[in-house]
Amino acid sequence: MTTADWAEVDHYLVETLVGDGDSETLRANAAAGLPAIDVSPPQGKFLYLIAKSVRARRVLEVGTLGGYSTTWLARAVGKSGQVVTLEYEPKHAEVARVNLERAGVGERVDIRVGAALDSLPVLAEEQPEPFDVVFIDADKVNNANYVRWALRLTRPGSVIIVDNVVRNGAIADADSTDVAVRASREVIELIAAEPRLDGTVLQTVGGKGWDGFAYAVVLGEDD
C-alpha cells in the first residue's frame, strides 16, 4: 500500500462519513502559500469527536497554521466554548484569523502570536479555567515542554493529544539522530513516566502518509 492508496481511502471517507470540515480553509491556505501540513479531514473529525466526547468547552491548541484543525475544534466546543491557539508565524495567524471568521467560529477562538513557550507562561499567569483538551501540533522539538505546560493548564480527565509522533515509522529507531524523531520518543517516554498521565499512541495512515497521535489522559487522585 502507498500513500496514494491511503489518500483514496481518505477521499472515500470524506465523501461518506467525515465531510471535509472546511475545504475553503485548505484552499485559502494554499493560495496564501502556507505549507500543506494541516491535519487531514478524517484526523480533523477525530479531534472534533474527541472534544465532543469529553464535552469540551475549552481547548488549547499549540500550532495554528491556517486554522484548519482549529476550525474542527472550535465547532466541537460550541458557541459558548473557547479555543486558545498559539502560533509563531504572524502570517499564518493572519490567514487563520480570516479563515476562522469565514467559517463562523472567529468569536470563539483566541489566537496568540509568538513562540508558544513565550505565550504559555503568559496564559498561565492569567489563571484560566482548566482546558478540557490540548492539541499539540507545532515545533516537534518542544513537544515534551508543551506536554509539561499542558499538565499545568488542565484537570483530571482532560485529554492531551500530540500529533506526528510516529514519523513514518522512524520512532522505532532508538539510534535515530533526527531531532523530530528524538523529540517524539522523548514525549512518549515522558507520558510513560509521568504518574499524572496515562496514554497510548495510535498509528495513522492516510493522504498525509504514515504517522500517529499520542493520546494521554490527565489522571486524578482516584485513578
What is d(CA 59, CA 169) in angstroms, rounded to the nearest whole number? 29
Q: Which is nearer to ligand SAM, 58 or 92 (CB)?
A: 92
Q: How many CB atoms lie within 10 A of CB 93?
A: 20
Q: Which is nearer to ligand SAM, 40 or 158 (CB)?
A: 40
Interface pick for ligand SAM out of 10, 132, 139, 211 (rule CB under 6 A): 139
Which triple of cell numbers denotes residue 187?
514525549
Q: Does 84 bind ligand SAM (CB under 6 A)?
A: no
Which position among 28, 56, 60, 65 is part of the footprint of ligand SAM (CB under 6 A)?
A: 65
Please name which of 106, 103, 64 lies closest in space to residue 82, comparing C-alpha atoms: 106
| Binding segment toward ligand SAM, per CB under 6 A, in 103-111, 133-141, 152-160, 168-176 | 133-141
DSSP string, 155-197: EEEEEEEE---SGGGGGG-TT---HHHHHHHHHHHHHHH-TTE
| 73 contacts 61 by C-beta, under 8 angstroms | yes
Q: Residue 86 interacts with ligand SAM (CB under 6 A)?
A: yes
For the beta carbon of residue 1, count every other beta carbon within 10 angstroms: 8
Mask 92-111, x = binds ligand SAM (CB under 6 A)?
x-------------------
Residue closer to ligand SAM (CB basis): 132 or 139: 139
Smallest separation, CB 76 to ligand SAM (Å):
14
Say whether residue 159 binds ligand SAM (CB under 6 A): no
Q: Does 132 bind ligand SAM (CB under 6 A)?
A: no
Question: How many C-beta neighbours within 10 Å does residue 112 have?
Answer: 16
Binding site for ligand SAM (CB under 6 A): 37-39, 63-65, 68-69, 86-89, 92, 115-116, 137-139
